[in-house]
Amino acid sequence: MATPVVSASGPPATPAPAPVAAPASASASVPAPTPAPAAAAVPAAAPAASSDPAAAAATTAAPGQTPASAQAPAQTPAPALPGPALPGPFPGGRVVRLHPVILASIVDSYERRNEGAARVIGTLLGTVDKHSVEVTNCFSVPHNESEDEVAVDMEFAKNMYELHKKVSPNELILGWYATGHDITEHSVLIHEYYSREAPNPIHLTVDTSLQNGRMSIKAYVSTLMGVPGRTMGVMFTPLTVKYAYYDTERIGVDLIMKTCFSPNRVIGLSSDLQQVGGASARIQDALSTVLQYAEDVLSGKVSADNTVGRFLMSLVNQVPKIVPDDFETMLNSNINDLLMVTYLANLTQSQIALNEKLVNL
């Protein structure tokens, strides 16, 4: 499957113009010392990770400052294909579990934005757990953003939240989302608004401008930083994002993903045997990949890995060994059951049709 090709030269260039153009923010954003971006970058997995986390951490650390130090590590992995846009688990941070509905809603609100609006924002709703936060719902909030001011319709946000609470009382305001690949100083202001609504709100960014050719989805939490005793600044520390699904959700997402493969992005809902056919085709694909791997190992192209071998063995042993006669009887009785049920269903249908005819005589 072709993945969107990432242009590696993208990330180092973009953070530079943005902070330079932005005027000194009104909020308390103390020019953080250079160790701060490095400190933020350290929890971000291995340095071999893509240029994204470094650039993002640097931008979030000091919106008004050129992340000069972050540029250097960002440029080294440029020639190679950058790793996953989402860095590995952040130790000590909370885990944010997103439902795909949220992302779809966000992208949809972005597509419906007003003329001239560069990004959309909205509230995230969900539940809080001890170690994780599960975001299950969201709605967009109208806002106006210009060079030096930002206006968010909080009245609207409150109203919507009340309405939502009526139908699902368990949801709390967890934070807010914004589209766009950067965290601007306006974000800090908006984040402040939201910290009045929820303790320690989460900020989610969905990059709809497709920087690096990917839609990166990141979550942040704000932490205070700066010299104690003086004005404190705000730093956005990244959080691990995981995806959670209800079972039925997963099946639906699976179906909707199929539109990726059709030319005009349209699919219909398939029916009975087609679905079984589709599912078995998928298993066939998976099996052929496994077979390919086995062939490669046998011919010596790939070195054998013991864990994979163990998995393969358990896979082959999954097919239960049943005495053929027993299996015959089981199979036959099952088939008989099914055939009988089909026959009964047909019989019932003809009965009611007959009844209709008789009644209407």
- Of 147 and 356, nearer to other proteins (C-beta) is 356
The residue (of 130 and 166) whose beta carbon lies closer to other proteins is: 166
- Minimum CB–partner distance for residue 120 and other proteins (Å): 8
Q: Residue 55 CB, nearest distance to other proteins (Å)?
A: 18
Q: Which is nearer to other proteins, 31 or 278 (CB)?
A: 278
Q: Which residues pair with 98 in a beta bridge?
A: 135, 243
Element (H, E) at 186: helix 185-197
Integer Cα distance of 351 and 359 in angstroms? 12
d(C-alpha 197, C-alpha 180), whole Å: 23
Angle at 172 between CA 169 and CA 176, to 5 degrees: 140
Of 21 and 266, the one with the shorter C-beta distance to other proteins is: 266
Tell me the closest approach of the beta carbon of residue 226 to other proteins, in angstroms: 34
For residue 25, give every residue at least 6 positions away whose Cβ sits within 8 Å of its Cβ, in sequence order, or none: 63, 64, 185, 188
**Identity of the residue, 307 or 318, whose beta carbon is nearer to other proteins in the bound complex:** 318
Cβ-contact 184, 198 below 8 angstroms: no
Provide, rounded to whole angstroms, the least separation between the CB of residue 39 and other proteins: 26
Counting every residue, how long is the chain? Answer: 361
Q: How far is the CB of 178 from other proteins (least distance, A)?
A: 14
Please answer whether residues 122 and 138 qualify as being in contact, where contact means their C-beta atoms are separated by less than 8 angstroms.
yes
Of 61 and 86, the one with the shorter C-beta distance to other proteins is 86
> Whose Cβ is closer to other proteins: residue 63's or residue 97's?
97
Partnered with residue 206 across adjacent β-strands are 179, 217
Matching residue, tokens 């795909």: 100
Rounded least distance, CB 283 to other proteins, Å:
7
CB 31 within 8 A of CB 64: yes
Closest alpha carbon to 185 in 15, 33, 60: 60
- Minimum distance from CB of 99 to other proteins (Å)? 7
Q: Which pairing describes strands 95-98 and 233-243: parallel, antiparallel, or unpaired?
A: parallel
